[in-house]
């Protein structure tokens, strides 16, 4: 074993200049896609929401497209970077572009929770603002790949373009699946019902719905405590 050369797991291995704060920040930004994959899996397990599963399926399809494109184009990374693999298009830029655009489309056009009329406008504004923040975050990750010399500007722009096309295409496909009843049909399958998959995220604000359930439970508990104290007093 002592003569066997050791390998490096490059999943989270990022080269950066330790004397440059922007390079250090860019190294952390490079880990955002891996972090988002953890978020995806956590949300799917915790919420069992069909829309989250659909978005993740599109994300994995976008990654598969990047894998294929890199091996068709076969363009090397910048000469300053000794990283392995092809660089066209940037997988980080493509991943983040898909994530930001699909999430933004969902927040603005598909997510329509039932709210009081007075709060509907504010809720829409908040969703638009969140979509803009996601886009800025995706842009920061894309720029970090150029700053760290992992990709050329052309490779990053190509990645953003491929991610954007993937997001719009998958959002349109999932809309057709909804319109033609394929989502409802899938949710009625025994295996899907066994996993408790549901489709509430489109029409409900899950945070607000959960809060209302909690408030109702607290009121019942407080009411029960008050009734118990009255009985003791009697």
Does the residue 101 lie in any domain? Answer: yes
| Separation of alpha carbons 163 and 154, rounded Å | 14
Q: Are residues 195 and 216 in the same domain?
A: no
Q: Are residues 26 and 40 in the same domain?
A: yes
* Structure confidence at residue 187 (pLDDT): 92
Does the residue 104 lie in any domain? Answer: yes
Q: Are residues 197 and 223 in the same domain?
A: no
With a CB cutoff of 8 Å and minimum separation 6, the contacts of 220 are: none
Does the residue 182 lie in any domain? Answer: yes
Q: Are residues 187 and 222 in the same domain?
A: no
Q: Are residues 99 and 211 in the same domain?
A: no
Q: Are residues 215 and 123 in the same domain?
A: no
Does the residue 232 lie in any domain? Answer: yes
Q: Are residues 63 and 44 in the same domain?
A: yes
| Separation of alpha carbons 76 and 151, rounded Å | 9
For 21-31, the pLDDT digits (tens) are: 898 898 899 99
Q: Are residues 227 and 187 in the same domain?
A: no
Does the residue 226 lie in any domain? Answer: yes
Reduced to 3 states (helix: H, G, I; strand: E, B; else coil), residue 13 is: coil
Q: Are residues 188 and 229 in the same domain?
A: no
How much of the chain, in percent, has pLDDT values that exceed 70?
A: 84
9 DSSP assignment: -
Q: Are residues 180 and 219 in the same domain?
A: no
Q: Could you tell me the pLDDT band of residue 222, with boundaries at 50, 70 and 90?
A: confident
Burial class (CB in 10 A: 0-12, 13-18, 19+), 165: middle
For 49, the domain range is 21-203
Does the residue 171 lie in any domain? Answer: yes
Q: Are residues 155 and 46 in the same domain?
A: yes
Instruction: Tell me the HSE value of 67 on the side-chain side, using a 13 A CA sphere.
Output: 6
Residue 3 predicted with pLDDT over 80: no
Residues paired with 49 in a beta bridge = 198
Question: CA distances (Å), 162 to each of 65, 70, 75, 155, in order?
Answer: 8, 12, 16, 11
The tally of domains found in the chain comes to: 2
Does the residue 1 lie in any domain? Answer: no
Whether the pTM exceeds 0.75: the reply is yes
Residue 209 predicted with pLDDT over 80: no
Tokens of 207: 């945070």
For 74-119, the pLDDT digits (tens) are: 888 887 765 567 888 999 999 999 999 999 999 888 887 766 555 6
Instruction: Tell me the HSE value of 200 on the side-chain side, using a 13 A CA sphere.
Output: 13
Q: Are residues 58 and 121 in the same domain?
A: yes
Quote the crossing angle between the two packed helices 91-105 and 32-47, to the nearest 10°: 40
Does the residue 2 lie in any domain? Answer: no
């Amino acid at each position: 074993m002592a003569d066997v050369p050791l390998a490096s797991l490059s999943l989270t291995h990022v080269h950066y200049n330790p004397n440059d704060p922007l390079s250090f920040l860019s190294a952390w930004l490079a880990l955002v896609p891996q972090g988002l994959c953890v978020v995806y899996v956590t949300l799917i397990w915790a919420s069992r929401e069909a829309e989250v599963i659909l978005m993740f399926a599109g994300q994995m399809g976008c990654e598969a497209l990047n894998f294929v494109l890199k091996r068709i184009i076969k363009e090397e990374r910048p000469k300053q970077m000794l990283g392995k693999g092809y660089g066209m298009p940037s997988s980080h830029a493509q991943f983040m572009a898909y994530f930001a655009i699909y999430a933004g489309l969902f927040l603005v056009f598909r997510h329509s929770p039932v709210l009081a009329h007075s709060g509907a406008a504010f809720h829409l504004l908040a969703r638009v603002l969140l979509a803009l923040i996601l886009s800025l975050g995706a842009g920061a990750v894309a720029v970090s790949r150029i700053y760290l010399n992992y990709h050329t500007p052309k490779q990053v722009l190509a990645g953003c373009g491929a991610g954007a096309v993937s997001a719009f295409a998958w959002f349109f496909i999932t809309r057709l699946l909804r319109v033609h009843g394929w989502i409802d049909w899938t949710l009625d399958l025994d295996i899907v019902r066994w996993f408790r998959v549901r489709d509430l995220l489109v029409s409900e604000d899950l945070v607000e719905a959960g809060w209302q359930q909690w408030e109702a439970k607290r009121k019942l508990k407080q009411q029960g405590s008050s009734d118990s104290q009255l009985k003791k007093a009697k």
